[in-house]
Every structure is written in C-alpha cells, then in structure tokens.
Amino acid sequence: MVNEFSKNYNGIILKQRNNYECPLIFICAIPAKDIKEWVDVIPTREKKGAIQRILSDAHVRSIKNYISASPKNIIPTTITIAIPSEYEVIDHSLGDQCSLKTLKITMVEGQKSKPALLIDGQHRLEAMTRVEEEIPLICTIILGANDLERAINFVVINNKAKRVPTDLVKAIVSELDEVEKEDFKTRVTSIGLSLGDYNNALIILSLSDTSPFNGLLDWETNRDGQRLIKPLALEMALRLVRNDLNTESELDVDESLEILSAMWRGIKKAPGYDNIWLNNDSNLLSKASLVATTEFLIERINQKIEDGEIDPTEIQGVEQYSTELMSKIPSEFWTTKWEVKSLDTSAGRGLIRDALSKIRTNISRGMAEPFNKIDLFTPPSSEEQ
C-alpha cells in the first residue's frame, strides 16, 4: 500500500505575463526545514536535469554569520523553486479584491526523488536551516516548470548577479547619520563586505569564520588570538590579487578578498599544512612568505586562466587548485631552518618563489631529496654577506 502525505501552504498566484504560455508563480512563506523536505538541491554534475553549483560551505558560513550577527539582519530575497507536476492549487475566494490560494504538495513516503527542484537560493536555504529550522523564507514557486524553464531561470538569475558599485554604496552611506554609519559598517562587515576599503578588508580577514587568517593578525585589537601575520602582508597580498590576477574585468576589493581567502583556505587543506598553521617556528605566515606564496599562486593560476582551465571568480575552483598546487610542497619546507635571512625584499621573495617552483619540479621528477639545490637552505658566501 502506498502511503501519501501532503504539505499545504497559503499564498497568492501571480501571472506575470498576459499570455497563455507564461507559467504561473505561487508566492508564499515556508519554514526552511519544510523546503528541504520536498525540494531537491542537486548539483548539475550529479544528475541529468539538475541545475545547481556545488555547495560552498564558506558561502553558507558567511550568510549564517550575517544572520547570527544581529537580530535585525534578515534575508528578504526569495528562494526560487520549480515544481513540475506533483501539486494542486486550491482556491479560497475572498471577494472581488482578493483571492487566497493554497498550494498542496503531495509526496509518497519513501520516494527517492522529491516533487520540486531548487533553482536559486541553496546557500541561503542551507544557512537559514543551520541558524533555525523554523525560520520562514519567502518562496517563489514556478508551477509546472519543465527542464527548459528550470535551466533558463537558473542561468538568468545567477548570471545577472552584480555587485553594487562602491561609489554608489559610498553615496548611500554618506547620507546616514554617524550612529547609522557605524551600524551599517558593522553589519556589512559581518557578511564580508569591505565597501572598497582595505582596512575593512583586513578586519574581515581577521574576524570572519570563512577566513583562513581568523584571529591571526598582529594588531592591538587581536587580544585573544595568535599574532602571527603582519597586516601589511595581507594588504600587499590583497593588492597583488586585485592587480595581477588575469580576470576578464577589474576586481574590486571584496572580490580580491574572496579570492585571497580561497587561495589560503586551499593551502591550509594541503597535507600537513593544518599542523604548521599556528606553529611559531614555521615560515609559512611570515610577511615575506605570505606575499611570495600569493605571488606564486597568482602566477600559476594565471597560467590556468590562459589555458581556459580555471575561472578565478569560481571560488571553489580556486580553493581546490590551491590545495592541489601546494600538495606538492611538503609542509616540512616551512619548518626547516632557512639559512638566508632578510627575505622581505623583492629579491628575497623571489628566492621563496624559486624554491616553491624547484621543489614541485623535484617531486614531479621523483627525486628522493625534494629540497635539493634550494638556495634558501644554503648559507650565503662571505662575499654575498
């Protein structure tokens, strides 16, 4: 015997275009946990007809942090869902001026596939679920949407996303009073927006849960963490990403911040690197190393961009490639004593980049001693001193 059960939601029906081909849209509010019960979120690579990117846990955390940062913070944008056929609309006429509808979703107990597919909002949905499952989310449900409609709406919605220009943000903020300005800055910083200011970007890198540098900056407000990283080193690294990465359009500070964080999250995930991350005897997070390693990564990523193998704006891809790249640099490299000193110069950073390149080459060639002929391990001659 088949056991069916259903979910009912009250809302309104919208016919956006005045023609018979236009799909109907049902608009309502649904608790986050309910949505996950009957809406599938499937990455495109896993199933034919699926229309989602891979979930980015870093993106989810940034939204979760924003919601958790203040009781005033809300997500007013809608979750977009497509439901092909397993639904019923019940009309409740309330007179000429208003018509309330009920959307009835029918499911079969134990069925593998769910009646609907998510088009847009997977990170918001996941983040809100982690904060509080009963939080209601505004939903736009496209009724009777087939594969084509789902694909078109996914591409259009996600391809039209664009940051608010920094100058426009500054103009808006300029009209707030001083208390409002401070509150505005606090709330947008909590979701990782620097508003084009490098100092704000450093604050985000120091405080954000998605930042690999969380609690590590060497400045006075870091009272509880380890002061391992010079703020100037991170600012230099940010400027390198913004100026030297070969992107189709010029990066802003926030985009550069996301990419730099992804690079170094990737480094931290390389074998053995998590163990040396907070090691005071490690050279990894010194100013010279942080800047030189960022330069090294940018150089390699640019090669991948030129070959069409990576999109630098796809944060997950940047993170994964950084892990892959640094997996061929043994973590012992950073804890072995370096004989060359005073590396915080252009020439010194060049030595670090050369060492990274040579080690990768040595390992690729199967050499038993990957640190062979690395200048950093060779004391300078008396003439060089």
pLDDT digits (tens, 9 = 90+) for 135-157: 999 999 999 988 778 877 877 77
**pLDDT of 195 higher than 70:** yes
CB 311 within 8 A of CB 320: no
- SS3 of residue 11 by DSSP: strand
Q: What are phi and psi of 205, to 5 degrees?
A: -65, -30
pLDDT at residue 150, as a whole number: 80
**pLDDT of 85 higher than 80:** no
What is the rounded distance in angstroms from the CA atom of residue 213 to the CA atom of residue 277? 10
- SS3 of residue 167 by DSSP: helix
381 pLDDT band, cuts 50/70/90, is low
CA dihedral 257, 236, 351, 334 (to 10 degrees): -60
What is the rounded distance in angstroms from the CA atom of residue 125 to the CA atom of residue 118? 10
**In this predicted structure, which of 77-81, 96-100, 167-171, 341-345 has the lowest mean pLDDT?**
96-100
**pLDDT of 33 higher than 50:** yes
- Sheet of 4-14: strand order equals 39-40, 116-120, 79-83, 136-143, 25-31, 4-14, 99-108, 87-93
Enter the pTM of the model: 0.66
What is the rounded distance in angstroms from the CA atom of residue 333 to the CA atom of residue 289? 11
Mean pLDDT of 85-95: 73
- SS3 of residue 304 by DSSP: helix
Task: Give the tokens for residue 89.
Answer: 């609309």
Mean pLDDT of 33-42: 90
291: Cα within 13 Å, side-chain hemisphere: 20
Mean pLDDT of 277-290: 94
Query: Per-residue b/e over 80-96, b at no fewer than 16 CB within 10 Å?
Result: bbbbbebbeeeeeeeee
**Single-letter amino acid code for the residue at 52:** Q
CA dihedral 250, 319, 121, 36 (to 10 degrees): 180
pLDDT at residue 320, as a whole number: 95
**pLDDT of 98 higher than 60:** no
220 pLDDT band, cuts 50/70/90, is confident
Between 314 and 329, residue with greater pLDDT: 329
Mean pLDDT of 270-297: 95
Task: Give the tokens for residue 150.
Answer: 């789902």
Share of the chain above pLDDT 90, in %: 46
